[in-house]
Amino acid sequence: MYAKNAWKKYQKDGLDKVFSFNDGYMSFLSKGKTERLCVKEAIRLASERGFKNLDEVKNLKPGDKVFATNKGKNFAAFVIGKKDLECGLRVLGAHIDSPRLDVKQNPLYERDGFCLMDTHYYGGIKKYLYVTIPLAIHGVVVKKDGTVVDVNVGEDLNDPVVGINDLLIHLSGDLMSKPASKVVEGEDLDLTVGSIPMEGDEEKDAIKKNILKLLNDKYGFEEEDFLSAELEIVPAGPARDYGLDRSMIAGYGHDDRVCAYTSLMAVLDEEKVDYTSCAVLVDKEEVGSVGATGAHSRWFENVIANLIAKTTDYNDLKLRNALTNTKMLSSDVSAGYDPLYAGVNDSKNAAYLGNGLCFNKYTGARGKSGCNDAMPEFFAEIRKAMDESDVNWQTSELGKVDQGGGGTIAYILGNMNMNVVDAGVAVLSMHSPMEVVSKVDVYEAYRGYRAFITKL
Ligand code: MN
Ligand code: MN
């Protein structure tokens, strides 16, 4: 059903299905505060459903279920189809990195009675939204001997949180006249982490020393170990029901964990498929999809080569054919229409919360620049599959023409010559510490993704 409110479909006897699916998603979102944690959770969900690690499987046949990972930050689940891999796959691809603050390599310093921790923001954020909210620290510290120490502070209600202080309104005369981009500058996104001096230490940096001792007692690492750490500062606390009717979810990281979870579950829940189905979760989308764990990496192509080698005699042409014949949804979020900021949209080409899975034929900026403009032949197949499966779906553009813009991973896989279109959930307050989605859109995304892998 195109551009219709999806709640109506479930009001008689389907609301339980919508809400219980979203309980699973909220749990995933609350646990998956970093890309590494999302991968861990994906492995758990897949293993529970009988998926085996591809590395431990010698040969593959139709109906087999496997998963692959890359450096702890990428994950892909596959259900092997009846048709040869050379006929192509049906791929759902989402990203599991989200905008945040990263701890710098030399982060700790003491000033005027406080120990502070320096950060460098990751992805597009409005910096002023990160002050005066409880923040948690997640990630790993890797010691010189290779030991990986997991760090997780701020989620348990008994844990302390950290945060970035704000200037009181009473003294903000100068500050309030600055443009929003300058009110909180990037170099000022420093966390307050302590204020007790080390006992019996009258020298310089006694508060910092005390924090380092505390870290060493709890985690066994030293100041120098920050050099090889990956610590992410994210809003503390779980995802919550949003709205008095609990129709929405407020949480950190819907972009793009909402499409990651729905894509993953769509593949995990399918038993038999004609074309090999895949949910792939990538990193680094928010900073350009670069590097070994971003969508530009050869990893995904290598995994498909491995799949082919485990089903038949491998040759390069089979891999090229598999990629060319693959159809993919770039599962990523859309900018939800917000009545408070209606002016940034063309209202007839906007994504509305509640209207179901949202397709963006193109994204880009300044005349569609940098976009993957999906083929109309491919989009026609998608319309048919969505309507035949009674999925509520809609189309949108990222804002009105020349209002701004953005991109996704769609074009990167498109470069491998596969048909790709963006499809995901509409989000309000995107890239803020508290993003909002509609539960019925989450459910329709899951249903739409299932329709894609079984009908196209
Ligand atoms: Mn995204
Ligand atoms: Mn984003």
pLDDT for 202: 74
> What ligand has the least distance to the C-alpha of 125?
2
Give the Cα separation of 193 and 187 in Å (integer). Answer: 16
> What ligand has the least distance to the C-alpha of 410?
1
Average pLDDT, the chain: 97
Give distance in angstroms: CA of 287 to centre of ligand 1.
10
200 band by pLDDT with thresholds 50, 70 and 90: confident
Give distance in angstroms: CA of 255 to centre of ligand 2.
5
Give distance in angstroms: CA of 31 to centre of ligand 2.
19
Give distance in angstroms: CA of 35 to centre of ligand 1.
13
Percent of the chain with pLDDT over 90: 96
Instruction: Kindly tell me if the per-residue pLDDT of 191 is higher than 90.
Output: yes
pLDDT tens per residue, range 354-376: 999 999 999 889 999 988 899 99
Residues 186-209, mean pLDDT to the nearest whole number: 93
User: Could you give the C-alpha distances from 9 to 21, 23, 66, 289, in angstroms and in order?
Assistant: 16, 20, 34, 37
- The residues, any chain, with a CB within 8 Å of residue 175's CB and separated by 6 or more, are 167, 183
> What ligand has the least distance to the C-alpha of 287?
2
Give distance in angstroms: CA of 159 to centre of ligand 2.
29
DSSP letters for 241-258:
EESTT--EEEES-HHHHH
Q: Is the CATH code 2.30.250.10 the one for domain 100-235?
A: yes
Domain boundaries, the chain: 7-98+252-455, 100-235
176 band by pLDDT with thresholds 50, 70 and 90: very high
User: Could you give the C-alpha distances from 85 to 48, 56, 61, 233, in angstroms and in order?
Assistant: 25, 20, 11, 41
Q: Three-state SS for 59?
A: coil
Give distance in angstroms: CA of 434 to centre of ligand 1.
15
Give distance in angstroms: CA of 409 to centre of ligand 1.
9
Give distance in angstroms: CA of 279 to centre of ligand 2.
19
pLDDT tens per residue, range 9-65: 999 999 999 999 999 999 999 999 999 999 999 999 999 999 999 999 999 999 999
Residue whose C-alpha is closest to residue 139's, from 217, 261, 38: 38
Give distance in angstroms: CA of 424 to centre of ligand 1.
9
Give distance in angstroms: CA of 406 to centre of ligand 1.
9
310 band by pLDDT with thresholds 50, 70 and 90: very high
Give distance in angstroms: CA of 365 to centre of ligand 1.
15
Give distance in angstroms: CA of 57 to centre of ligand 1.
32
Give distance in angstroms: CA of 123 to centre of ligand 2.
8
203 band by pLDDT with thresholds 50, 70 and 90: confident
Residues 377-403, mean pLDDT to the nearest whole number: 96
Give distance in angstroms: CA of 332 to centre of ligand 2.
8
> What ligand has the least distance to the C-alpha of 333?
1
Give the Cα separation of 392 and 230 in Å (integer). Answer: 40
> What ligand has the least distance to the C-alpha of 423?
1
7 band by pLDDT with thresholds 50, 70 and 90: very high
With 0.95 as the threshold, say if the pTM is over it.
Answer: yes
Residues 401-419, mean pLDDT to the nearest whole number: 93
> What ligand has the least distance to the C-alpha of 95?
1
Give distance in angstroms: CA of 335 to centre of ligand 1.
10
Percent of the chain with pLDDT over 70: 100
Instruction: Kindly tell me if the per-residue pLDDT of 315 is higher than 80.
Output: yes
Give distance in angstroms: CA of 234 to centre of ligand 2.
15
Give distance in angstroms: CA of 448 to centre of ligand 2.
21
316 band by pLDDT with thresholds 50, 70 and 90: very high
Eight-state DSSP code of residue 198: P
Q: Is the CATH code 3.30.70.270 the one for domain 7-98+252-455?
A: no
Assess contact for 451 and 385: CB atoms under 8 A.
yes
> What ligand has the least distance to the C-alpha of 122?
2
> What ligand has the least distance to the C-alpha of 259?
1
Task: Copy the structure tokens of residue 347.
Answer: 């209202």
Give distance in angstroms: CA of 431 to centre of ligand 2.
6
Give distance in angstroms: CA of 258 to centre of ligand 1.
10
Give distance in angstroms: CA of 455 to centre of ligand 2.
28
pLDDT tens per residue, range 68-110: 999 999 999 999 999 999 999 999 999 999 999 999 999 999 9
Task: Copy the structure tokens of residue 376.
Answer: 């109309």
Give the Cα separation of 121 and 353 in Å (integer). Answer: 29
> What ligand has the least distance to the C-alpha of 123?
2
Task: Copy the structure tokens of residue 366.
Answer: 């300044």
Give distance in angstroms: CA of 144 to centre of ligand 1.
34
